[in-house]
Amino acid sequence: MLFLLSSLLQNYYQNKLRLALIGQSLFGQEVYTNLRKQGHRVVGVFTVPDRDGKADPLAVVAEKDGTPVFKFPRWRVKGKPIPEVVEAYKAVGAELNVMPFCSQFIPMNVIDHPAHGSIIYHPSILPLHRGASAINWTLIQGDKKAGFSIFWADDGLDTGPILLQRECPVEPNDTVDSLYNRFLFPEGIKAMVESVQLIADGKAPRVPQTEEGASYEGIQKKSNSKVNLAQPAEAIHNWIRGHDKVPGAWAVIDGQVRSLKHTLSVPAGQPLEIEGASQPGVITKNGLVLYGSDSKALMVKNLQFEDGKMISAAKYFSSGDTASVELTDDEKKMAEEIRDIWKGILSNVAAIEETTDFFKSGAASMDVVRLVEEIKQKCVGLQLQNEDVYMATTFQDFIQMFVRRLRGEDQEEEMVIDYATKDVNNMTVKMPWQCFINGKFEDAENGKTANTINPADGSVSYIHTDIHTYVDRAVAAAKEAFEVGPWGRMNPRDRGTLLYKLADLMEEHQEELATIESIDSGAVYTLALKTHVGMSIQTFRYFAGWCDKIQGKTIPINQARPNHNLTFTKKEPLGVCAIVIPWNYPLMMLAWKSAACLAAGNTLVLKPAQVTPLSALKFAELTVKAGIPKGVINIVPGSGGMVGQRLSDHPDIRKLGFTGSTPIGKQIMKSCALSNLKKVSLELGGKSPLIIFSDCDMDKAVRMGMSSVFFNKGENCIAAGRLFVEESIHDEYIRRVEIKKMKVGDPLDRSTDHGPQNHKAHMEKLVEYCEVGMKEGATLVYGGKQVDRPGFFMEPTLFIDVEDHMFIAKEESFGPIMVVSKFKDGDIDGVLNRANDTEFGLASGVFTRDINKAMYVSERLDAGTVFVNTYNKTDVASPFGGFKQSGFGKDLGEDALNEYLRTKAVTVEY
């Protein structure tokens, strides 16, 4: 006790410092906690912004303690420090900067500001392996010792003087994880705390780094991590373990790319040809044996297929084997105990045979709960769900499932995703980019990739293209999921629970989803957050609530005496549905259609627009995390001419929902009729009129009129394609339309009003549209051309004096172009005739303070939606769809469910 008290007093009377912690992660959290335990005062924590709505572990513990926490997205812009950020940092008054795993670039006027400067943790024995991925290169290079350095920061890349170093031996089978968890993490935390105390006591050394042996190796990528098998076994072993887990070393096996995981040591087995190897590999009971050019061997424990599935290498030749497992004596004894449980529940059954079916023997849902809970009581820790009983209804199947579950053999492999990552918008965005079929991401069969372009700067990312054979596979997966999978047999309320969970996950990832929408479609981030993503979340929650409320009805019919009849209707799902969505609201259009489709009990194959597939693929990832069964949702990117056409023609698809242009809608309708007369709903083009009367609220009419045109940079299906303004207020109205004040720029800038158009071809079409308008005699007030900057930015544009015969009066621009025509004062019927003189009928609007006029006009406007004294006011509960050549069928509201249901009438005579 006296010794403990002495130690505490010793810590208490040691010199203490005012510290600023600049870093992140669990490592940063532990350093922070231990420094405070030692009596140092942390006056500020500077960490990364929240990701997916979750704070970094360092921020969590600091905020709980009441320590000031700063989450600066960046410290510098274009290499220059941000003054307000630097001033906020300086205000905390730190004497030393402690930087555990700091991932941001910190300006030198911050590094050098404290009296004692800054110290950094680095996971290598400097000067070796400067820069990123130091642990990986320690293993790849075959270093016999590893360790870490704590050094004084300077303006070089890990070149500052050394304060303290620790080292440890590298074990023969060490991986990045084992090395980090065994030594670099726990010892690194202790060393950071020790270093701070050395500085506080004035005892910290500054040992200049030598350049002898200094190295910098770049970050390894999948493209250059192929194993060179024409080298000694030890080098192969080091290469594989140095790339575990990311990006994963790989080789071509049986003509296919396979990632190699966890190398060990060796015996004999079945030969396997491997491209580039000096001799065949051998599959043994312990794994895959590889031989180097020196004939020495090494062991590969796991193999990962291109579709993401990982198997034990020892099971390579039997990975598809589904034969029954042979029970051990203990397992046989346990099976008999379970037989007794079945017997206790199924008391009406004389004996529980291997073929006894739990439900056919009279069991109900409460019996399922009892069975699961009785078994879990006997086998503490066993993961068993009610759904498992429904999937293995006979006793022999149940025992097989139970034994595999007990052994841990049937656990689902964690989904493996080959992300494309991008540091943008103060976060690292992780984007799946492959096709999503039957619950897995996989490359296109032909290996081709198509560019997707960030419209703000023209930069390129990649997405695999597709061919119609992939559509066939996706449809087959959806059909199997509907007919024999758990989705078709699932209680509607349970289906709703999964959709609610999916909505929750979308909300957790809303900032990442909104960022993807911005960089893929050009949507202004704030609008993407509120509308593109926000309404998508609302849509799934709304339709999740409908799952257990889909009802038929009883119908009185003419009785044929003396018999009696009961007639009732049932609402049933259609089966496999195809959904084809546009590029203007990639995620929201997905949600509008797929939420209703899934709530009705269907499965689906979805084709996102070829130029904006990324948010749909991120959505696919979230469906797996939500527990949506495999095959229920399939995402197949690609061209409309290839993928879209095959979906229209496919005989196993029972419904196709499409949003897009009228010409393509007509082609789809024709193909659907000729193939198998599949059900169709179409939301097509528009030329929506907005009528503004002189008795309107002018401020509101101007504000909403601009929104009706420029919302989502005009790429809005219900955008007001033509404004009719009453003559007496026309000139004042035009004067108050202040287009010049709209800020055109980076969609990720929170102050931006107007982002880039979706893609280059569309922007060029808009410029051509304006040129035609000017040639026909319309007056260009402002805009009409591309903004002179990188990216696909179109100036917000205003045309007046637009006459009825002109091209721009009749055709949709689908862009930020306001087209204004006058109408004579008091000519209500005249302006209605002009407004309805179009083959489109998607939406419309009217502004007036006269309620009688408003009702009169709304009754006569020939459009699926009429907005009165507002515009763009859509809601998940309100049906949305058009008339005439704007299509038919509804999205949203209860009406949308009927698009994905069929009505069956049943008559019973008794």
- CB contact at 8 A, 835 and 816: no
The tokens describing 568, both together, are: 């009732």
What was the pLDDT predicted at 232? Answer: 83
Specify binding-site residues for (6R)-10-formyltetrahydrofolate. Answer: 104-106, 158
Strand (E) or helix (H) holding 8: helix 2-13
Burial 550-586 (b: 16+ CB within 10 A, else e): beeeeeeeeeeeeeeeeeeeebebbbbbbbbbbbbbb
Using DSSP bridges, classify how beta strands 554-555 and 565-573 pair: parallel, antiparallel or unpaired.
antiparallel
Which residue segments constitute the domains of the chain, with CATH numbers given? 18-201 (3.40.50.170), 233-318 (3.10.25.10), 329-407 (1.10.1200.10), 421-683 (3.40.605.10), 689-881 (3.40.309.10)
Confidence bin at 218 (pLDDT 50/70/90): confident
Sequence-separated (6 or more) residues with CB below 8 Å from residue 264? 173, 286, 287, 298, 299, 300, 301
Sequence-separated (6 or more) residues with CB below 8 Å from residue 583? 521, 609, 611, 612, 715, 758, 759
Mean pLDDT of 649-653: 95
> Residue 568 is which amino acid?
F
Render pLDDT for 823-869 as a digit per residue (tens, 0 to 9): 999 999 999 999 999 999 999 999 999 999 999 999 999 999 999 99
Of 580, 586, 597, which Cα lies nearest the Cα of 639? Answer: 580
Helix (H/G/I), strand (E/B), else coil: 453: strand
Strand order in the sheet with 18-22: 69-70, 41-46, 18-22, 96-99, 118-122, 145-152, 162-169
Chain centre to alpha carbon of residue 805 = 46
Sequence-separated (6 or more) residues with CB below 8 Å from residue 53? 507, 508, 510, 511
- 10 Å CB burial of residue 872 (0-12, 13-18, 19+) is middle
- 10 Å CB burial of residue 70 (0-12, 13-18, 19+) is middle
Residue 319 predicted with pLDDT over 60:
no
User: 124-133, 372-381, 425-434: which range is least confident on average?
Assistant: 372-381
Residue 10 predicted with pLDDT over 70:
no
Strand (E) or helix (H) holding 909: strand 901-909
Specify binding-site residues for NADP(+). Answer: 581-583, 607-610, 640-645, 660-661, 765, 812-814
Residue 820 predicted with pLDDT over 90:
yes
Of 580, 657, 572, 647, which Cα lies nearest the Cα of 612? Answer: 580
Which 3-state string (H, E, C) describes 48-114?
CCCECCECCHHHHHHHHHCCCEECCCCCEECCEECHHHHHHHHCCCCCEEEECCCCCCCCHHHHCCC
Confidence bin at 755 (pLDDT 50/70/90): very high
Render pLDDT for 771-796 as a digit per residue (tens, 0 to 9): 999 999 999 999 999 999 999 999 99
Which residue blocks in 692-793 are alpha helix, DSSP H?
698-710, 727-736, 760-775
- What value does the mean pLDDT of the chain take? 89
Sequence-separated (6 or more) residues with CB below 8 Å from residue 722? 687, 688, 689, 690, 802, 809, 819, 820, 821, 835
Q: What is the dihedral of CA 595, 598, 603, 605, to 10 degrees?
A: 0
**CB neighbours of residue 745 within 10 Å:** 19
What was the pLDDT predicted at 710? Answer: 97
Residue 268 predicted with pLDDT over 70:
no
Q: Any idea what DSSP says for residue 564?
A: -
What was the pLDDT predicted at 320? Answer: 44
Strand (E) or helix (H) holding 506: helix 492-508
What was the pLDDT predicted at 486? Answer: 87
Residue 309 predicted with pLDDT over 50:
no
Residues annotated as catalytic are: 122, 683, 717
Percent of the chain with pLDDT over 70: 92
What's the rounded Cα separation, in Å, for the pair 756 and 746? 8
User: 145-159, 288-302, 346-360, 619-633: which range is least confident on average?
Assistant: 288-302
| 134 vs 506, more confident | 506
What was the pLDDT predicted at 90? Answer: 95
- CB contact at 8 A, 661 and 584: no
The tokens describing 710, both together, are: 């420029």
The tokens describing 646, both together, are: 């095959």
- 10 Å CB burial of residue 494 (0-12, 13-18, 19+) is middle
User: 245-249, 675-679, 881-885, 902-906: which range is least confident on average?
Assistant: 245-249
| 409 vs 590, more confident | 590
| 289 vs 538, more confident | 538
- CB contact at 8 A, 271 and 281: yes
What's the rounded Cα separation, in Å, for the pair 140 and 244? 10
Residue 507 predicted with pLDDT over 90:
yes
What was the pLDDT predicted at 263? Answer: 59
Residue 308 predicted with pLDDT over 50:
no
What's the rounded Cα separation, in Å, for the pair 725 and 216? 67
What's the rounded Cα separation, in Å, for the pair 863 and 886? 9
Mean pLDDT of 592-617: 97
**Count of helix runs (H) and strand runs (E) in the chain:** 30, 40
Confidence (pTM): 0.61
Residue 596 predicted with pLDDT over 60:
yes
Of 652, 683, 678, which Cα lies nearest the Cα of 891? Answer: 683
